[in-house]
Structure formats: C-alpha cells, structure tokens
Amino acid sequence: MSHISKAEAFYKPHRKHPELFQEHFLESWLHPDMLEIVQDFEKYYEKQWQKQQEDNGNMDEIDTTLSPMDDAKATQISSKLNLETSGVYSFECLSESFLEMINEELFHFYKVTAEHDIPVRRPNSMNNYGVILNEIGMRPMITALQQQYIWPIARVLFPTQGKVFHDHHSFIVRYQADEDLGLDMHTDDSDVTFNVCLGDKNFTGATLVFCGTFGQADHRQFQHTYHHKVGRAVMHLGDRRHGAEDIDEGTRMNWIVWNHNWEYRSSPQYKQRMTTLAYQAEHLPPSKVCLSYTHDRDYTHFHSELPKAAEDLHLHPWCPPPGKEYEGYGKVSLRHKLSRQTGNGETHPNEL
C-alpha cells in the first residue's frame, strides 16, 4: 500500500460525513451569491458562444476560448463578484451548513490521525499542518465543485488558463500562533487558484498580500492586501505573486484548489513563460512586503536577517535573474552591507 493511500484507507472507517467523499457537490452547500455568479457567467458564456456561431458559419473553426476579460466587465457580468485588484476576484462561496460540516470533518481528521499516528503528507515544505484533501478521499467531491461551479467562472475570467480543467491539487493550510504563522511570498503551481476561508471567525492578521505577475516588470511590486472572511473565496491566476502575513490571534484555515489545464501547460506560451528568458527587467526596487526569503537574492538587502521560518530550509534564491535586476541593485546591496557593518539602519524609499 502506498504512502498516499494509507491516509485514505486508515481514515475511511472514521469518517463523520460520508457525503463529503461522494461524487457530488450539492447546491445547498453553496452561498446564494455563488450560485447567482455561476448562473450569470453561464448566461454570458452562452451568449458569446451564440455570437460566434452567428459570425462564423463553419462550426469546426469556432474557438470556444473567449477574449481576455476586462476587470470592469467582469463585475458587470455579476454584481455579486468583487474586484479586489486587477486579476484578483472575491465572492461569497460556501453556506453556513457546509462550513460547519467540513470543519467538523477536518477537526475530526486531525484528531484521529494524531491518535492513531496515521501518516499524513503535507501540501508543501512550508506548511507543516496542512492536509492534501485529494489523498484522504475528497477528490470526487472537489472535482464536482471544480467542474460544476469553479470552471464556469474561471473560463470567463481567465479564458486561456481556464478554458478547460483536467485536474486539481486540493489541500488545507492552517495558521495559528503555536504552528505555522504565515507563508512566504510565492507563485502557485496552478493555472487558476481558488482559495476559500474555512475559519475560524475570530482570527486576526493572516492577510493575503498580492504583488505582480511572474516574469513581468511589476512581479515584486505591491498591489493589494486581501482580508479573509470565513466562507468567502478569492480567485486568481497561479502566476500571481502572493503570500500570507503572520497571524496575530486565533486560527485561520483555508481550502485551496489548484486547477490545472494540461492543454495550456503544453502550449509554447506556457513553456516560454516558465523560463527566465522571457523575464522582464525590473523597473524599480521591490516593495518590501513582496520580498521572498525563499526565492529572492536581495531579501537581506532590505531585511537585517532571515526569518525563523527559513532556518531549516535549503534556500536557492534566484530572483531577480541575472541581467534582469532593477537599476541600482548592486548599490542597494553595498549600502545594506555598509549599514550592517556600521549599525546604521536605512529605510528604503519603497517601504511597502
């Protein structure tokens, strides 16, 4: 029996809500706003499809991919959709009854696995208390959510990356004072990311900071701070740099679905994007809040030391790639070294 299958097999007899492990996602589990958004976007897509049929008599040549979505237009399609910042959208997503049910199941899972020493694989090396939901039996339920409700929205908001979803990586992240506090700046191994807050209602801090897009000149420029609300989801492209700031009080638990489009990933556009050859030179020094201790070569140019969370990591910083540095990159490094030697701290003009 594989390591992956052990968690699912051992936990199966302990399940509290078997319906969470079936091949369906009930409408009653969604907030009315989510249902309205899906209906609005399905109507919009159908209207655009009909227009293409009218404009093109040859059905074989019709491309089901819509044109890139304008931010303002997206919120016009459905009044229940909120534009947080360019390319980042939020909306009420889950019903109170579903939140109660899935939280009860997850807390029970944590309890049972701890009592029985069930092996649990974590979502990534930086999250020590998360759970990969696909590996405990919830993949069928999440696939239903993806295909029936996430995809109809994503194919309109992000028509290239969201044209079709073939698979997903779905997991829980958890932050609290005596565990993981936050998550370093990063991009996702996702084409379209769906992130919904499960609880609890009394946490403070742990905001989600959005910066620019991977490979673009504004990659490390601050764009927006998103404040999580229980039951509310945020959706964005996976190549958007973002990170979770440290939690102050309580526990924040989020359910994240990384949606994958294998057709897009096999395209020249995607393959070129994944190389540093297409990386644009940065026009400005990075916003301080957008720096990554995992990925950025100049992290300690702006911070006196690495955070405690980086102590056990084998770091291989690469950003910005050589030749793509902002003007004055070397001077900032030298100034930082001198300030550390003399003990005189400096404040960089890009303080965010």
Q: How confident is the model at residue 345 (pLDDT cuts 50, 70, 90)?
A: very low
Q: What is the identity of the amino acid at 56?
A: N
pTM: 0.90
Beta strand 251-260 pairing with 88-92: unpaired
Three-state SS at 146? helix
CA dist 333 and 318 (Å) reads 15
Q: CB–CB of 220/212 below 8 Å?
A: yes
pLDDT of residue 312: 77
Q: How confident is the model at residue 63 (pLDDT cuts 50, 70, 90)?
A: low
Does the pLDDT of residue 182 top 60, yes or no? yes
Does the pLDDT of residue 67 top 80, yes or no? no
pLDDT of residue 50: 83
User: 323: left (phi > 0), else alpha (psi -120 to 50), else beta?
Assistant: left
- The DSSP call for residue 329 is H
Instruction: Give 266-283 pLDDT, tens digit per residue.
Output: 999 898 877 767 899 999
pLDDT of residue 202: 85
Cα-Cα-Cα-Cα dihedral sign, residues 110, 114, 117, 122? positive
Instruction: Give 88-99 pLDDT, tens digit per residue.
Output: 999 999 999 999
Is the pLDDT higher at 166 or at 64? 166
What is the widest separation between alpha-carbon atoms in the chain? Answer: 74
pLDDT of residue 335: 52
pLDDT of residue 131: 94
Q: CB–CB of 123/183 below 8 Å?
A: no
Q: Determine the average pLDDT of the residues in 199-211.
A: 91
- The DSSP call for residue 277 is G
